[in-house]
Structure 1
Amino acid sequence: MGLADKILAWSELPRWRESQRQAGRRVVVTNGCFDLLHAGHVTYLEAARALGDVLLVGLNSDASVRALKGPDRPVNPETDRATVLAALESVSAVCVFNERDATRFLSLARPDIYVKGGDYRLETLNPDERRVVESVGGRIVLLPLVPGRSTTELLRRLRSQPPG
């Protein structure tokens, strides 16, 4: 399967999810901005994929990243971010969503396992997202972050570099 085939249009998501169910595959779902892919992201995605048979990544659209992170983000447009994610062996499919939170995306993705980073706790997870996952019988797994690896930290270091 080529990387372009791994990028799902919103309208394709329900059919893709049903095909995974029919094949008896356990679907792991995560979501995020994945703006500047770094070792923390790759480690996290590998660990998430190991929890099931396929990994679906919900990718925040450019508009939702701006709403979450501010007017200077994303650094990379959603098509580039989706392409880079799709190129990873651990990622089975990528689907861009437009909302600030993943509730609507999760209602179509119907995760068997929903993975979030260790910067969350069950108590701080969006209650609507949690409700959707639990309503479809999914379980939530929190994975530890890789210390010192974040897009915010990477951007801070890049901005402090002298030109040239």
Structure 2
Amino acid sequence: PLAGADHGATDAVTLAGRLRAEGRTVVATGGCFDLLHTGHIRLLRTARELGDALIVLINSDDSVRALKGPSRPVMPAEDRARVLAALACVDAVAVFDEATPADILDAIRPDVWVKGGDYTAEQLPEADVVTRHGGDVVIVPTVAGYSSSALIAAARSGQPTER
């Protein structure tokens, strides 16, 4: 859940530290999560199965605009965070303002960093932060036919999405 002006970062870092001290496995994943869909749910469930807790790092509104363009995000960060925090497989949510979540990953130090299969570990600038702290980077295959960008474009055009 979002907490105060730091957008959940303190909660996420505190949770990760407590779990690490208990010898438990911290998993993190991140992204825009602008319009939650089946592909996101599969990614989140798969990520959560890799450890004892899942921390989701989401791009701030400014960060999403920089990545996706001026018409995004469709949902503000606070709403995206609330939706994610309501999922049983998610233990904490934090919002980051930078282009990558490298700074917050440096504080959380997850044992596992999970990203969708539209990336390779070599393409992720934040992978170095994770591996420097002894963590692993895991790429989960994407679910064909699910994309927030495609769903948003279909909704704006009034046309159904193709599967």
Does the TM-score normalized on the shorter chain lie above 0.5?
yes
Task: Provide closer, same or farther for how the CA distance between residues 160 and 8 of structure 1 changes in structure 2, counting only shifts above 3 A.
Answer: closer
Match of 1:161 in 2: 158
Match of 2:120 in 1: 121
8 Å Cα contact 1:8/1:93 also seen in 2: no
Task: Provide closer, same or farther for how the CA distance between residues 81 and 106 of structure 1 changes in structure 2, counting only shifts above 3 A.
Answer: same
Q: Can you list the C-alpha shifts for 1:23-65, whole angstroms capped at 9, x where unaligned? A: 2220011110101001110111001111111000001111111
TM-score, normalised via structure 2 length: 0.90
8 Å Cα contact 2:2/2:81 also seen in 1: no
2:56 equivalent to 1:57: yes
Match of 1:140 in 2: 137
3-state DSSP of counterpart to 2:121: coil
Match of 1:9 in 2: 8
Q: How far off its partner does 1:4 sit?
A: 6.1
Sequence identity percentage: 49
Q: Can you list the C-alpha shifts for 1:82-104, whole angstroms capped at 9, x where unaligned? A: 00000001111101111111110
Candidates 142, 147, 151, aligned match of 2:148: 151
- The letter of the residue matching 2:64 is V
Match of 1:80 in 2: 79
8 Å Cα contact 1:29/1:55 also seen in 2: yes
How large is the RMSD of aligned CA atoms in angstroms? 1.7
- The letter of the residue matching 2:120 is R
TM-score, normalised via structure 1 length: 0.89
- The letter of the residue matching 1:154 is L
Q: How far off its partner does 1:112 sit?
A: 0.1
1:105, 1:152 → 2: CA distance?
25
Match of 1:31 in 2: 30
Q: How far off its partner does 1:113 sit?
A: 0.4
Q: How far off its partner does 1:17 sit?
A: 1.8
